[in-house]
Amino acid sequence: MRASSRRQAKAVPAVDSKEKALCAMAALVDKRAVEPMLLDMREITLITDYFLICSGTSNVHIRALGQAAVETLEEMGLRPHGVEGREQARWVLLDYGDLIVHVFAQEEREFYALERLWGDAPRVAEAAGAG
């Protein structure tokens, strides 16, 4: 096999899930996210380690918040496994496996009430002073 035809696998950086979550949180706070909240899901469910939840004030703001989280995590060499809702910008979901970012319009956040649904999940102390 010729060297030019070999594909080299990109190494996935080893980033602690809490560090990832706090970096995404900082990006959202910088973009003036409304009521950002970081929930520690590790003892509650196997689906993820952290939920990062916030609201935006308009569709444009919601898209900008989602983009800020994506760009910040891309700087760490991370890409989402999935992105949902970017076009409608009422509930943008970014799935990083061990971190799921939820950026809501206020009405959707109140309707789905993830904070109440996952009320047993501890809030991460570092998030308490944000936003």
Residues 65, 69, 74, 78, CA torsion sign: negative
Q: Is 38 helix (H, G, I), strand (E, B) or coil?
A: strand
Find all residues with CB under 8 Å of 93, minimum gap 6, and list them.
82, 83, 84, 85, 100, 101, 102, 103
CA distance 94 to 92: 7
Q: Tell me what the mean pLDDT of segment 24-28 comes to.
A: 97
Taking the domain 16-127, which CATH number applies?
A: 3.30.460.10
pLDDT of residue 13: 59
Q: Is 39 helix (H, G, I), strand (E, B) or coil?
A: strand
- Any idea which residue has 């509930």 for tokens? 91
Note the pLDDT tens digit of each residue in 53-95: 999 999 999 999 999 999 999 999 999 999 999 888 999 999 9
Note the pLDDT tens digit of each residue in 105-120: 999 999 999 999 999 9
**Type of residue at 41:** M
pLDDT interval class at 125 (50, 70, 90): low
CA distance 48 to 53: 13
Q: What Cα–Cα distance (Å) separates residue 5 from each residue in 1, 8, 43?
A: 7, 10, 45
Question: What are the structural domain ranges in the chain?
Answer: 16-127
Q: 4 or 34: whose pLDDT is higher?
A: 34
User: How far is residue 41 CA from its own chain's centroid?
Assistant: 13
